[in-house]
Amino acid sequence: MSFIDIQSLRLGYGGMDDTQLVLDGIDLKVEEGDFAAIVGPSGCGKSTFMKLLSGLLIPQEGSVMLDGEPVNGPRAQVGMAFQNAIMLPWRTTLENVLLPLEVAPATKKDFRKRRAQYRRRGEELLAAVGLKGMGDKYPWQLSGGMRQRASLCRALIHEPKLLLLDEPFGALDAFTREELWNVLQALWQQQKFTVVLVTHDLTEAVYLSNTVYVMSARPGKIIVKRDIDFERPRTLDSRYQPEFVSAVHELREHIRSARAEDGSSSIGSLQEASS
Amino acid sequence: MSSATSKRSWGQRLFGWLGREEAMSFWVTVAFFVLWELICRVSNIPVYFLPPPSVIVQTGIEFQRAIVVNSIQTLWTTAAGFGLAVVFGLILGIAIGWSRRLYRGLYPLMVGFNSVPKVALVPILVLWFGIGTVPAILTAFLISFFPIVVNVATGLATTEPEMDDVLRALGASKIDRLLKVGLPGAMPHFFGSLKVAITLAFVGSVISETVAANSGLGHMMLMAQANFEVPLVFAGLLALAFEGVVMYAIFVLIEQRMTGWAFRSQQ
């Protein structure tokens, strides 16, 4: 059985008729250690999908299996990072990174006993994302990119089997974003956790993942599965190779048709034409 | 930089400070009293109507014992009422920030209590506890309690939902989420509300002293008014204002000390 195994999943907020349905019949399998990306028009239920994987929401129909067990509540084997790096401003960067260990039932007691050891692990992780020696700084002393790096560390500190990323690089400038792609790629190659990345950025999806799933407009369905098998580690230059460009182009076409099905897309396609 | 400033004399530094933006509070206060003095002198307003500051200060020195004794009485009733308000305000604020059911249930009642003018409660308190210190403490408590409750509850309610998602997905217990994220995050709201609450507590104790007490600044002013000692009434008023400013300033300092991160992270 696959690491993530989702079968005929349906979910609605409040009810299951057309206006309330958010996800409609999702089937998805992700193997352990794989890197999957989900792209789709905004409002297609991608974030809802992430909540289902983390156990914050329970599906009304269908099943979500994680590591052979049904997801019916929050479990600590998931790490999450969002577009907004949301760090606690009264804690130093290292203390922010260590927060999951302090509250997760599995590590809570151990953390109090072996604080020094965990602090070292936190510092090593910070160094791995290029924040060596920044652990004592407060979040307001860090730039947006640095905060996002720290937020990645927080998502990984408890060594989760599954990393959920909800547009984690969306608020960063292009150069910082590209740097962080490589940071994430390196971490993933080293530690081999499973990643599900939700993003609007097709280049980002193709650059980072092994498989890109395209979701339709609400109610969300998976309409395309595209395998990306370029060599690793991918470099920023590889984005300009013809296979890469054509993969992005192909996905763009799918997104366009997904939006066209949506009634309100006439303005959207105008915007796309002008951009 | 330090060598340059240390060479300047104390007087030069004071002179330099007086020209800066921070010194505006000093200048405006000085100007207020100078203008008051001038108006009284130029327009010959009788002393029993509006005494000039110089006369008020003279009277204050003359009656300094009465002012100090009554100030201490007012200060301690204020502090006692305020202390009660902090303890119960925190408890109730956390409770209604914690549970939506409690919030829903208690809110109308609390708004109702808060809408009642506290001076209207003093006769009832006197009925229950007699004239004196207890009604003053309770009035101070009742009047300063509400802003603390509301601010603590609001602070807890404004926790970032995504942060909450991160912690819930980890399986963190509700109590851990409260202790590690909710409460520390609500501290700027809490300490901010203390500034408001301490001045309100002061208002509460003085109201009660004015209506039903045998000591305290409120009582002293009422007696002075009855004896037509108008400058003493004003001296009491100035003492009240001064003490209010000092207490407010103390809580601004405490706020900055305790939740400095909230000010820095806004920069």
Search chain A and give the residue with CA nearest B160.
A86
The answer to whether residue A270 scores a pLDDT higher than 80 is no
Kindly determine whether residue A154 and residue B167, on different chains, have CB atoms separated by under 8 Å.
no
Q: What is the mean pLDDT of chain A?
A: 86
The answer to whether residue A267 scores a pLDDT higher than 80 is no
- Distance (Å, whole) CA A212 – CA A209: 7
Kindly determine whether residue B165 and residue A51, on different chains, have CB atoms separated by under 8 Å.
yes
Q: Phi then psi for A161, rounded to 5 degrees? A: -80, -25
Cβ of residue A88 closer than 8 Å to a chain B Cβ = yes
Cβ of residue A144 closer than 8 Å to a chain B Cβ = no
The answer to whether residue A263 scores a pLDDT higher than 70 is no
CA neighbor of A129 nearest in space, from A170, A80, A184 = A184
Q: How many CB pairs under 8 A join A and B?
A: 75
ipTM: 0.78
- Distance (Å, whole) CA A194 – CA A31: 8
pLDDT at B84: 97
Cβ of residue B159 closer than 8 Å to a chain A Cβ = no
Instruction: Give the minimum alpha-carbon distance from A100 to chain B in angstroms, rounded to a whole number.
Output: 7
pLDDT of A58-101, one tens digit each?
888 888 888 888 888 887 788 888 888 888 999 999 999 999 99
Kindly determine whether residue B170 and residue A104, on different chains, have CB atoms separated by under 8 Å.
yes
- Distance (Å, whole) CA B137 – CA B139: 6
CA neighbor of A130 nearest in space, from A171, A170, A183, A79 = A183
pLDDT at B208: 93
- Distance (Å, whole) CA B189 – CA B259: 10
Angle, helix B183-211 to helix B230-258, in steps of 10 degrees: 170
pLDDT of A121-148, one tens digit each?
999 999 988 889 899 999 999 998 899 9
Each residue's pLDDT expressed in tens, for chain B with a length of 267 residues: 444 555 678 888 888 888 788 888 889 999 999 999 999 999 988 988 999 999 999 999 999 999 999 999 999 999 999 999 999 999 999 999 888 899 889 888 888 888 888 888 999 999 999 988 999 999 999 999 999 999 999 899 888 888 888 888 888 888 999 999 999 999 999 999 999 999 999 999 999 999 888 899 999 999 999 999 999 999 999 999 999 999 999 999 999 888 888 877 654
Second CATH level (architecture) for the domain A35-208+217-263: 3-Layer(aba) Sandwich (3.40)
pTM of the model: 0.79
pLDDT at B239: 93
Tokens coding A39: 């792209």
